[in-house]
Structures are given as C-alpha cells and as structure tokens.
Amino acid sequence: MDKVDFNAPHSMGTTIIGVTYNGGVVLGADSRTSTGVYVANRASDKITQLTDNVYVCRSGSAADSQVVSDYVRYFLHQHTIQLGQPATVKVAANLVRLLAYNNKNNLQTGLIVGGWDKYEGGQIYGVPLGGTIVQQPFAIGGSGSSYLYGFFDQAWKDGMTKDEAEDLVKKAVSLAIARDGASGGVVRTVIINSEGVTRNFYPGDQLPIWHDELEAHNSLLDILGAPEPMNI
Amino acid sequence: MDTVTESQRTLYPYVTGSSVVAIKYKDGILMAADMGGSYGSTLRYKSVERLKPIGKHSLLGASGEISDFQEIMRYLDELILIDNMWDDGNSLGPKEVHNYLTRVMYNRRNKFNPLWNSLVLGGVKKGQKYLGTVSMIGVNYEDNHVATGLGNHLARPILRDEWNENLTFEEGVKLLEKCMRVLLYRDRSAVNKIQISKITEEGATVYPPFSLKTYWEFSAFKNPTVGAEVHGSLLVVNEMKQNFTWISA
C-alpha cells in the first residue's frame, strides 16, 4: 500500500464559494457528504447560519466544521446581546479564525465566512487550514475548488449585480461537481444583503449541461419513441 | 483513568509566504516581499501583505505560515499599545522589538511548538539604523542586508557584490528589484506582485503593490536545441556560444 503523505495539505470533499457583489454577498456550495467512497448524505446543507446577517460555508471534516460553527454561533449570540446590535461580519470571521488557529493541530476544516453589515456592506473572509484569515472579493474552497481557480481568474468581474453573481456561483459549483468526485448533489445558494437573506436550491435539471454530459431522461424508451409499456 | 493529552505541536505549515529581502541604505531600511500566500504547490492567495510597520520605528517582514504571522502581529500590537500607554516619552525601537521577537520564537521552539516563520525586523531610531532577522528556531543576527528562505541563496550573493553603505533610495529600490526579479525567475512559490517598504527617521511607508517585467528574449531560450541536430544516425553537437547580459529596468 502506498504511504499517505501527511504533510501535503489535505484536499477536502466539497465545493464552496463566496462572492461579493455590489450590495451584498452570494454564498454557494454542493451538497455531497462522503465517508470514504460512500455518499452518506446527498443533500446536505453546507451553508450554515451564524447570525441573521452572517453565514458560513463549511468544508473538510463535517464534524469539525459543525462544532466550530456551533461555538461561533453561541459566542456571536452572546456578543450580539452585549453589543445591543447585530454583530459585524468581521467579528464573526475573526471568531472563526480564533477557533481555527488555536486548535489548528486538531481541526481539519476550511471555512468561508460571508455576510452583510451596515458598516462595511457585503464581505467575504476565507479561513483555510491553519487559521489564516484573508478578506477577499471572492473565495473558493474545498476539493472541488482546484477546478475553479482558472475559471474564476477569467470569469470574475468587479461590481456584478446580484443575478450575475448568483449565476456565476451556480455555474462554478456545477462545473466543479462535474469534475470532482467528492462534490455532487444539488447546488445551494444563499444571498445576503441589506434586505435580508434568500436561500435557493438548484437540482441537476436546473443547471447547465457541460462537455460530455447528456440531458437527463426518465427512460431510454422515451428517446426511442416506442410506446410506453402499460402501467397497471 | 485520565489520559494526559499530548502537548500541542505545529508539525507543518499550510498557507505560506515566500522570501523577504531587506537592505540598509543611506536614510534607513528598505524591505521587499511579494504578496503571495501559497497553499502547498498552489499559488492560492495573491494579495497577502507581508510587510507591516511596528510602532514608529520598525518594519516587520515575514515569510512562512501566514496564520502564525497574523498571531505575531497581535502580540506586537499589544506590545506597542502597552508601550504607548506608559506615556513616558519612550518608545520601543527596532533593537527592542527584534529582541522581543527572538525571545518569543526561541521559547516556542523550546516547547516544540514553533511559530513557523522567518522574520525580518528593520528600523531607524535616533539616527541608528538596525536590520535583523529571526528564524522559527530562534536563530537571530543583524547585518547590512538580510533575507529569508530562498532569498538567502539567490538574493544575498547579489547583495554581497553590489551593496554599499551609501545607497540612495533609488539605488536601493533598483537593487531590491533586481533581487526580487531573480526570485521571480527561480522560486516556484514567487508571485509577480511585489511590495516595497521603507523606514527612515521620519517614519514607515509601505508602497502600493506593483509587478516586475521579466526578460525571455535570449536566443538560447527561443532556440534551445540549435546546435544539437541529428544527422542521419549521428547526433552532432556543435559548440554553442551564448551571450548573457543582466537586464535591469
């Protein structure tokens, strides 16, 4: 058996994306959770709420990302009560960073924090393995993101509208799903702006068809044009 | 039975910055670093600021794990804050900050839990220029020019040849750019977005990011196999004359 290289950065099953647009942010993710080769959950929700106005995209270990989100949600809740107003995206992201950094030896999760606040508008923060915090106009993460670096280098533009941003996210997650075995299922998006939060759900039939893919049908028989067998 | 948890140790870095190069010049210190944050072999982040002013008199440049550098910045922010709160007219100079960093790095190394960085600390206080470096295992020294990582192998030889005490700002910048260009050619983790910063008695300035032009027009690059043609079943290799010149902007 080949020895596993523990020193290489671990690629993580998932595709997650966060994109800012003029007015807010769009977060996107696939929905596949795998244990080894088995798909444990084909419709998971990887975009988790931290506060009314801040969400996080989770990748890597499901357990680690869930427990980090739970702690951050708890701290942010207290912080909001004490502060008397909604927490800022920066505070949420830094709390995530604190947990990720101080437990770096025991955690294996890469996170993308995105949200909207009245001071800085829409913001995206990446918190990769190790607990670095990086604010970016857009962020990609998870094993599926390897296939998207070139795509975003070419397709990303500053000052997009909400619809352009959501289309970009949908397209990107869908492209990653096409090539990454650890990503799959449906595309979920969450749009956050001054007006609030909108959740969307896009199953395969609502996504574009890429190279070497075929349109889906119920049966070969539909294509052949033969009369359908009777249903009794 | 309670089990004792093994003390934590950082085994390997995740998001890393590449070389930092710094020189003393006539008015103070000049420092350069690119803005890359690599994730293994992927050039993942391309706008990471790795040069930061510390207090009034110092500049810190860091290579290695970015999350540890961000933590060091938090330690230094606290150090400077408390220094200011004394309100005694005194302020920490580069020598003191370098010493503090050395202690932090060495003591972490002793606990087998290093901050995975190589740091460059430069500054000017009361006309005295200071330039030092600390590694993740606590090795520290001062010199007229320092570098981290591959910069030690690629940039220092250039600086040994071309550095002198009386460099003007323009000469210093050109010299640093020469070093950064070589790193761009020869360091896999280099990214073509560079920041140069300076510190003088007046204070610190971090200049906006810029990219360097690179030169590829050598005839030997365009026709690498000229002179090594195959004739029938014989491979004939002619003596190839090549001319190289340094190209600087």
**DSSP output for B183-232:** HHHH-TT--S-EEEEEEETTEEEEPPPB--------HHHHSTTTT--EET
Which of A55-59, A159-163, B168-172, B239-243 is least confident? B239-243
pLDDT for the residue numbered B10: 61
Which of A124-128, A140-144, A210-214, B33-37 is least confident? A210-214
Q: Which architecture, in CATH terms, is B15-214?
A: 4-Layer Sandwich (3.60)
In the structure, what pLDDT confidence band is assigned to residue B103 with cuts at 50, 70 and 90?
very high
Instruction: Please report whether residue A144 resides in a domain.
Output: yes
DSSP H helices in B86-187: 94-110, 151-154, 156-162, 169-186
Using a CB–CB cutoff of 8 Å, tell me whether A129 touches chain B: yes
Q: Report the b/e string of B162-196 with b at 16+ CB within 10 A.
A: ebeeebeeebbbebbbbbbbbbbeebebbbbebbb
Distance from CA of A121 to the nearest CA of B (A): 21
Identify whether the C-beta of residue A132 lies closer than 8 Å to the C-beta of residue A143.
Answer: no
Longest dimension (CA), chain B: 85
> Is pLDDT of B159 > 50?
yes
Question: How many whole angstroms separate alpha carbon A18 and alpha carbon A13?
Answer: 17
Which of A60-64, B72-76, B102-106 is least confident? A60-64
Q: What is the mean pLDDT of residues B64-78?
A: 98
Using a CB–CB cutoff of 8 Å, tell me whether A102 touches chain B: no
Q: What is the mean pLDDT of residues B120-131?
A: 98
pTM of the model: 0.86
Identify whether the C-beta of residue B114 lies closer than 8 Å to the C-beta of residue B13.
Answer: no
> Is pLDDT of B235 > 90?
no
Instruction: Please report whether residue A180 resides in a domain.
Output: yes
Interface test with A, best of B9, B35, B44, B45 (most A CBs within 10 A): B44
- Kindly determine whether residue B70 and residue A136, on different chains, have CB atoms separated by under 8 Å: no
Beta bridge mates, B30:
B23, B198
The CATH number that applies at residue A135 is: 3.60.20.10
Using a CB–CB cutoff of 8 Å, tell me whether B47 touches chain A: yes
Number of domain units in chain A: 1
Q: What percent of chain B has pLDDT over 90?
A: 82
- Kindly determine whether residue A130 and residue B14, on different chains, have CB atoms separated by under 8 Å: yes
Facing residue for A128 by CB, picked from B14, B47, B70: B14
- Kindly determine whether residue A9 and residue B10, on different chains, have CB atoms separated by under 8 Å: no
pLDDT for the residue numbered A1: 46
A-chain CB neighbours of B45 within 8 Å are 126, 134, 136
Q: What is the mean pLDDT of residues A95-109?
A: 97
Q: What percent of chain A has pLDDT over 90?
A: 80
Task: Report the mean per-residue pLDDT for chain B.
Answer: 91
- Kindly determine whether residue B9 and residue A105, on different chains, have CB atoms separated by under 8 Å: yes
Distance from CA of B14 to the nearest CA of A (A): 6
- Kindly determine whether residue B70 and residue A128, on different chains, have CB atoms separated by under 8 Å: no
Rounded to two decimals, the ipTM of the complex is: 0.81
Sorted by where each begins, the domain ranges of chain B are 15-214, 224-249
Estimate the crossing angle of helix A62-83 against helix A89-102, to 10 degrees: 130
Within 10 A of A197 (CB to CB), how many other CB atoms are there? 17
In the structure, what pLDDT confidence band is assigned to residue B4 with cuts at 50, 70 and 90?
low
Three-class SS string for chain A?
CCCCCCCCCCCCCCCEEEEEECCEEEEEECCCEEECCEEEECCCCCEEECCCCEEEEEEECHHHHHHHHHHHHHHHHHHHHHHCCCCCHHHHHHHHHHHHHHCCCCCCEEEEEEEEECCCEEEEEEECCCCCCEEECEEEECHHHHHCHHHHHHHCCCCCCHHHHHHHHHHHHHHHHHHCCCCCCCEEEEEEECCEEEEEEECHHHCCCCCCCCCCCCCHHHHHCCCCCCCC
Q: Is B42 a catalytic residue?
A: no
Domain range spanning residue A42? 16-225
Q: What percent of chain A has pLDDT over 70?
A: 94
pLDDT for the residue numbered A231: 80
From the list A14, A15, A51, A88, the catalytic residue is A14
Q: What is the mean pLDDT of residues B182-192?
A: 95
Question: How many whole angstroms separate alpha carbon B78 and alpha carbon B235?
Answer: 68
Question: How many whole angstroms separate alpha carbon B97 and alpha carbon B103?
Answer: 10
For chain A, the distance separating the N- and C-terminal CA atoms, rounded to the nearest angstrom, is 53
Stretch (H or E) spanning B55: none
- Kindly determine whether residue B14 and residue A134, on different chains, have CB atoms separated by under 8 Å: no
> Is pLDDT of B230 > 70?
yes
- B23-47 tens-digit pLDDT: 999 999 999 999 999 999 899 999 9
Closest CA in chain A for residue B7: A105
Using a CB–CB cutoff of 8 Å, tell me whether A134 touches chain B: yes
Instruction: Please report whether residue A124 resides in a domain.
Output: yes
